[in-house]
Amino acid sequence: MTARAPWRPVARAGAAVAAGFVCLLAGVLVADYVSARREEPREQARITELQVQAQTDPSAARALAAEQDRVTRGRQQRKARKNAIAILLIVCASAFVGAAKWINAMEGRRPHALPVKAIPMAVAAPVTLPSAGASAPSPGLPAPLDLTFVDELVGREGRSRESAIPILQAIQAHYGYLPDDALRRVTELTEITPAQVAGTSTFYARFRRSPVGEHIVRVCHGTACHVSGARAITEELRRQLHIRDGADTDPAGLFTIDEVACLGCCSLAPVLMVDERTAGGLTPASAYAALGAARHPEPA
């Protein structure tokens, strides 16, 4: 048992209290919302009734004004209450994350190579890399792209401008991105213009114009990871990997950095996944090491 072990019950109690408050506050928010939804039709009906009466009875005008004041005040109070609860929720959630990290530290859980089982991806559909026989990108000596797939695809999908999206989707699925040569071939074989290709491929975020790296690094930018420094980690990884502004893949084509939503292990925040391996409790300094053996060699 370490010298810090006596603090473990304190950390656990803190985490439990913070979690309790998170649940309680979330319950209050939900109850407030439900009550407001039930109240609104009644308030509206009452105001409508008074408006009708006020057309024939001048004394009802005062009651109408009073009712409108009461409703407005009630809504303002509800809004202020909601804002206060939201702030408390953030504070309690941060306290919970802090206590969970403290417990992890005391129990000796290491930030790297954690035995966390594969977590379902929150974003980023899996990208199919080019098949070995087709066009595996080779750093420094790119193989000529096999365009047979594009020729067959155009034969199947047709040559009209309406086929642009299905053709681009199929090319993306086959090559893992939209290679310039494949797009050029599409414009040669079909009525689809280069301008249409450029517009469509940049409008939809799922289309990539450059190959994905050999390894996908998913850096979590969910709330817990964001408050724990996910932005600094992403920026440090980009710096260490020499990834240019506007790009997401390093020049050697080894790593693609993807910013994703919650990976489902917030108590380890900040977290990243290298392919299917998860690493948590990171700092900007330790994040690069978490990429494992495939990292770039340190510059001489």
Binding residues for ligand FES, rule: CB under 6 A, are 220, 222-225, 262-266, 269, 271
Q: Which is nearer to ligand FES, 47 or 91 (CB)?
A: 91
Please state the closest distance from residue 229 (CB atom) to ligand FES, in A: 11
Residue number, 225 or 279, with CB nearest to ligand FES = 225
Residue 268: what residue type?
A: L
Distances in Å between the Cα of 261 and the Cα atoms of 218, 275, 280, 282 are: 9, 16, 15, 17
CA pair distance 195, 131, nearest whole angstrom: 29
Nearest to 167 by CA among 181, 148, 186, 193: 186
Nearer to ligand FES, 68 or 223 (CB): 223
Contact 211, 197 (CB under 8 A): no
147 vs 224, which CB is nearer to ligand FES?
A: 224
Q: Which is nearer to ligand FES, 67 or 259 (CB)?
A: 259
Whole-angstrom Cα distance, residue 229 to residue 231?
A: 5
* Tokens (6 digits) for 277: 């391996």
Least distance from ligand FES to the Cβ atom of residue 82, Å: 23
CB of 11 to ligand FES, least distance (A): 19
Closest chain position to ligand FES (CB): 222
Give least dist CB 266 to ligand FES, A: 3
Query: At its nearest, how many Å lie between ligand FES and the CB of residue 268?
Result: 7
Shortest separation between residue 280's beta carbon and ligand FES, angstroms: 8
Pick the closer one to ligand FES by CB: 212 or 271.
271
